[in-house]
Chains A and B, each alone.
Chain A
Amino acid sequence: MILIKCPYCGERDHSEFSYGGDASIVYPSLDAPQEEWVKAIFFRENIKGIQKETWQHINGCRMWLEVESSTITHEITSVKPCHKNLQKVIDN
């Protein structure tokens, strides 16, 4: 079982979470050329090693998380809220 340390709820089994997808995708502006949108939507780096992905604590606080983990060992190296300013709110 993978353990994910939710910034709000603490360490929980990953069965409480729902996997989102690749967190490294940067969407282009709405008026960007079509090629950029094709790249963002359909093409992936698909890293063998440490990469970023999103999870939602669906059976907990329901926060969206950015998780850094290894696709070889499943080891998690970092968990933080997807929303940039949320960590500050939690810390306070």
Chain B
Amino acid sequence: MTKFNAWNVFKNGLNGQTGWSRQWRDPEPKSSYDAVIVGGGLHGLATAYYLAKNHNMHNIAVLEKGWIGGGNAGRNTTIVRSNYMMPGNREFYEHTLQLWENLSHDLNYNVMFSQRAHVVLIHSPGALDAYARRYNTMKLTGSDGELWSLEKLKKKIPHLNYDNGRFPILGAIVQPRAGNARHDSAVWGYARAADSLGVDILQNCEVTGITRKNGSIESLQTTRGNIKGKKIGFAVAGHTSVLWQMAELGNLPIESHKLQAFVTEAVKPLLDCVLIFGPGGAAHFYISQSDKGSMVFGGELDWYKSYAQRGNLPTVKENGECAMAIMPCLGKLRLLRHWAGVMDMSMDGSFFMCKTPLDNLYLNAGWNYGGFKASPASGWYFADLIANERPHKVIENHNLERFEKGINLDERGIGPDPKMHG
């Protein structure tokens, strides 16, 4: 693999860009590996990368049913933040933000991480109190947060609808270190970096069957033949239940729902932060501007359970209404694309990263809305779990038994209704 550096860019500029090697190999599957990660998304690839980098394991395969970047890695809205409050979650997400801060250097791949601030609008005194409490709690574990007065907000983002009678803006709660990254770069960067450490990335390799023996998984049947793994990790959020039932493990505290996202035509620089309209007392809507200039936004789930990667019209309308309510200047923009991603919505809105009833199987699932930002720490802690066969202290409650113990990591305090954990 040719390293990206100033000298190589210069050299290849002179020789017609002929000196670059391919980003990752396309190997034939071996019959067995020390670790097999099912799911070649951000989480699976990050897991393989940290297994190789932090735990010196190199005989690893990542199985991807489609192509790298074709699943939820290419279907998110690229927001990175660490404004979580529950114990475990806030350490985890702060760690992920720190990993993002150095990810481009670590992977030798520009993930275009832009710490442009995550600005949540506040619409009621109650929301202000709740958010002040949340951001003060976050500070205990080293995350950053600021409360912006209406005056300051008007100075920073002058073109919001401040004359909104239904949802008056009282100010904003802000995480300055949060921002956006480029989703394709992140998944390609992890794939390339994992591959360079010896990881086999097997695309078009869908798991079609699972053979169990003596309380562990003996082999995986795939569209590219049988593959054995001493340790096996599932990282297929969206379809976790399907794989779980293939292993005859029964039900999970997860429902699959679809979340839509939208992209407009490109415009000149209009919004230099991630803007959130709603959790502070109104609807649920987030918007940012991509480096190409498109406005990227999304909001609520489509409410009903679905494995279809396409959304429905009432949600399109609702998102359009939210956009107009907060930034009326968007009214003349046309939508270029909208799509839906299938996500594991868990019973308390938090993820699962744990050992399973099978000895050599490890689970990484239940990412709700938070999968993209989580991916670096997800890979980091999942690799730690697989290598050391015990959960790190940070994720010790992120298991399937937490509900029967009465431990709900419910950030929104909404209860066991997966569709509500947006």
**Partner-B contacts on A (CB < 8 A):** 1-2, 14-15, 18-19, 21-22, 34-35, 38-39, 41-46, 48, 51, 53, 55, 69, 71-74
Contact = CB atoms under 8 A, between A and B. Distances in A.
Contacts of B242: 48
Interface string B334-357: 000000000000010000000000
Given A21-B419, A34-B404, A74 B308 contact: yes
Give me the 9 closest cross-chain CB pairs, A-B, nearest first.
Answer: A46-B241, A43-B251, A19-B303, A42-B403, A15-B314, A38-B404, A19-B304, A42-B253, A42-B347
Contacts of A53: 304-305
A35 B404 contact: yes
A71 B308 contact: yes
A34 B419 CA distance: 24
29 contacts: A1-B312, A2-B312, A15-B314, A18-B303, A19-B419, A34-B404, A38-B403, A38-B404, A39-B251, A41-B403, A42-B253, A42-B347, A42-B403, A42-B404, A43-B253, A44-B254, A44-B255, A45-B241, A45-B245, A45-B251, A48-B239, A48-B242, A48-B307, A69-B304, A71-B306, A71-B307, A71-B308, A72-B308, A74-B308
Nearest to A34: B404
Contacts of B255: 22, 44, 46
Contacts of B404: 34-35, 38, 42
B82 interface: no
A34 B347 CA distance: 17
Given A1-B313, A53-B305, A73-B308, A48 B419 contact: no
Contacts of B74: none
Q: A41, A42, A46 — which one has the most chain B CB atoms within 10 A of its CB?
A: A46
B304 A46 contact: no
A53 B254 CA distance: 15
Given A22-B305, A71-B256, A71-B307, A42 B416 contact: yes
B417 interface: yes
A43 B252 contact: yes
Given A35-B404, A38-B404, A44 B304 contact: no
Contacts of B417: 21
A46 B254 contact: yes
A41 B251 CA distance: 12
B239 A44 contact: no
A14 B314 contact: yes
B303 A46 contact: no
Interface string B134-155: 0000000000000000000000
Given A1-B312, A1-B313, A71-B308, 10 more contacts: A1-B314, A22-B305, A39-B251, A41-B416, A44-B252, A45-B251, A48-B241, A48-B256, A72-B308, A74-B306
Nearest to B305: A71
Contact of A46 (B256, B308, B312, B313): B256
A72 B250 CA distance: 20
A28 to B, nearest CB: 14
Contacts of A38: 403-404
Contacts of B256: 46, 48, 71
A72 B304 CA distance: 12
B252 A46 contact: yes
A65 to B, nearest CB: 12
Contacts of B418: 44
Contacts of A22: 255, 305
Contacts of B307: 48, 71-72
A72 B242 CA distance: 13
Contacts of A2: 312
